Structure 1
Amino acid sequence: MNTFCISLLLTLSTGLFCAQSPQKAKKPLVVFVCGDHEYSGEETLPIIAAELEKNYGMRTIVLKASPDHNSEENIPGLEALKDADLAVFFLRWRRLPPEQLAHIEAYLKTGKPVMGFRTTTHAFNFPKGHASEKWNAFGEFALNAPPGWGGKAKHTHYGHNSSTDVSIVPKEANNPILTGVAKDFHVRSWLYHVVPDYPVKGSTWLLTGKAVNPERPAVENPVAWTGTNSFGGKVFMTTLGHPEDFRIEAFQRLVINAIHYELGLKIPTKWKGKMDIQVPYRVAK
């Protein structure tokens, strides 16, 4: 083979190699934003994050209230949301400064997906008349959930001594997010009351819950749903999230599936196995 042919082959092979490199998919970045007083989201979600990195080819960043979970006015590092492909929130009654809220608002305005756990329905708690009061309705405008706790929506629960029987909504039995999720399972979370006005119209109910040993008459409520929020972003919201819920394989599977759904990725059909999540519950502040 002459020198020209060898040179041509080298050029072509190098070109093919270079052309393939950009096609390698960049690992999606999931940013977890934690600060909830009560449910130890700062401990459960890092375990989920580690699992995503180890077994599901994702990058993660976990942001926490500082200096501890009871610190309501500071979650450092929110600028990471600029590069996030998915933002996951587990918050309760925060009062973040405007410069930190600006990072969350900028993310929401991109129309990228949002995921929320339990008390994120009442993520913020600014006093009436405060310049950031609109953030008290984060649950509604970001997650199709009630706009805060109590109020006109009568968002409440059925007592700390109750728990919840969870069932798949029959017509959603083949929804990819529910792949491998048990048809019925029991969780420690006391049921949140969100009906009749929430989740907002157009949302898809995936799971419903029935209160077990409620302190007052209870009705069935959705405990997980999807939809599109007011910014055009995909939503997955669950009102579950007690640390003991995270010990349950059905709930773990739901969370991993939902993260894939939010990112537009194929739901894994092969389960990598149950995670060991032994995190305590804290009495609310």
Structure 2
Amino acid sequence: MIAQLLFVPLLACTPGPDPVPDGPEEATSPTSPAKVVLIAADDEYRSEESMPMLAALLKRDHGIEPVLLFSQSKDGRVAPSRMDHIPGLEALEDADLLVLFTRWRDLPVDQMAKIVAYVERGGPVVGFRTATHAFKFSADHPYADWNETKIAALVGQRWIVHHGHFSDGEAPLTRVTTSENATSPILNGVETPFDAYSWLYHVTGGGDALAPESTPLLTGETLRSRQLQGGRGDRYPPVQPVAWTKTNPFSPTGVEPGRVFFTTLGHPYDFKLPAVRRLSVQGVLWALGREAEIPAEGVRTDVVVPYAPTNSGAGGEQTGRSPAQMRSAAGL
């Protein structure tokens, strides 16, 4: 970890009230219905709050049928800190897209098998932040190779290290710009630069690289870095891809590979930014093969209900709510 300041001026980006609508006022009719399974199961970044908000946007504006799955306690309450139980994964059997926002889950074989079956039939995937370390199985677990090797092949990289979170949520820590030559419709209307609250993840440089055929879309530069302060800038460079596209390498022969969109952004305050909400929705549409529906100015980003997330931090989640209450709170 690190302790040197990069004296880069910050853009004003303090969490505040949700913005007024800034995109087309009328929803675009989808070409076909789509079932999108969103797995919100991390214990640090409040995916149990951000993914329902995203699901509500997908349903309201794009005719998508969202299915939200959470880590749950024995009594059926949303429990992000429980690592070994995500009920409802059978929904993946006929899903059109998997949205993965998990962190170090240690699932039983029968549950993990449902995720693997979806991936191995070539399904498209959208991943957020900690999906680089979505699973953490013991060495003798049948799916132990998903800890690093296979998750890196699927989403583009495994967990390596980050540049430090400092005062979590008090100020942005990563300046995001458009990658050189990036032209994807996922970026339509995504105005850069913007400052994100996610501390920068290391994914390339110093001997590390994204999975083959990954195409960077957005680049992040750390605004404060413990790696630089510790003299480790050559090993962990201060500029990294923070969003990219690729394809599902586990797709069967003769089947068109599923599309994969991934971003290392995902702090709960990042989703207060219109740019991040737009990026997320458009990443879903692109992964579904519906990029023709993304207008040049980008999709709507005004939230269905006010989004006021809990700050990040392991063990700091709100407790005691049912999945139905989480959906209702998001306007679903």
- Helix, strand or coil: the match of 1:252? helix
Q: Is the 8 A contact 2:278 2:300 kept in 1?
A: no
Q: Is the 8 A contact 2:153 2:249 kept in 1?
A: yes
Residue segments in structure 1 that go unaligned for 5+ positions in a row? 1-23, 150-154
| TM-score normalised according to structure 2 size | 0.73
Q: Which of 184, 189, 192 lines up with 2:193 in the alignment?
A: 184
Equivalent residue for 2:163?
158
The reply to whether residue 228 of structure 1 matches residue 240 of structure 2 is no
Equivalent residue for 2:263?
238
Provide the alpha-carbon RMSD of the alignment.
1.6
Q: Which of 261, 268, 272 lines up with 1:247 in the alignment?
A: 272
Residue segments in structure 2 that go unaligned for 5+ positions in a row? 1-29, 74-78, 167-171, 229-236, 251-256, 316-332
Where in structure 1 do 4 or more consecutive aligned residues deviate above 4 Å?
none
Cα distance change, pair 267–211 in 1 and its aligned pair in 2 (3 A): farther
| Structure of larger gyration radius | 1
Structure 1 CA distance, aligned partners of 2:137 and 2:270?
29
Q: What whole-Å deviation, never above 9, does each CA across 1:53-94 have from its counterpart, x for those lacking one?
A: 111111110000012011100000000001110000000010
Q: What whole-Å deviation, never above 9, does each CA across 1:202-244 have from its counterpart, x for those lacking one?
A: 1000001000121221421000000113213211010000000
Structure 2 CA distance, aligned partners of 1:70 and 1:255?
24
The reply to whether residue 256 of structure 1 matches residue 281 of structure 2 is yes
The alpha carbon displacement at 1:25 in A equals: 5.2
The reply to whether residue 142 of structure 1 matches residue 154 of structure 2 is yes
Structure 2 CA distance, aligned partners of 1:201 and 1:132?
23
Q: Is the 8 A contact 2:277 2:301 kept in 1?
A: no
Equivalent residue for 1:17?
none
The reply to whether residue 42 of structure 1 matches residue 48 of structure 2 is yes
Q: Is the 8 A contact 2:259 2:288 kept in 1?
A: no
**Sequence identity, in percent?**
40
Equivalent residue for 2:66?
60
- Helix, strand or coil: the match of 1:105? helix
Q: What whole-Å deviation, never above 9, does each CA across 1:154-177 have from its counterpart, x for those lacking one?
A: x100111171000001301x3211
Equivalent residue for 1:200?
211
Equivalent residue for 2:300?
272
Structure 1 CA distance, aligned partners of 2:113 and 2:132?
19
Q: Is the 8 A contact 1:63 1:75 kept in 2?
A: yes
- Give the partner amino acid of 2:268: P
The alpha carbon displacement at 1:142 in A equals: 1.9
The alpha carbon displacement at 1:273 in A equals: 3.7
Equivalent residue for 1:282?
312
Equivalent residue for 2:179?
169
- Give the partner amino acid of 1:271: V
The alpha carbon displacement at 1:267 in A equals: 3.9
Equivalent residue for 1:14?
none
Cα distance change, pair 198–277 in 1 and its aligned pair in 2 (3 A): farther
Q: Is the 8 A contact 1:35 1:92 kept in 2?
A: yes
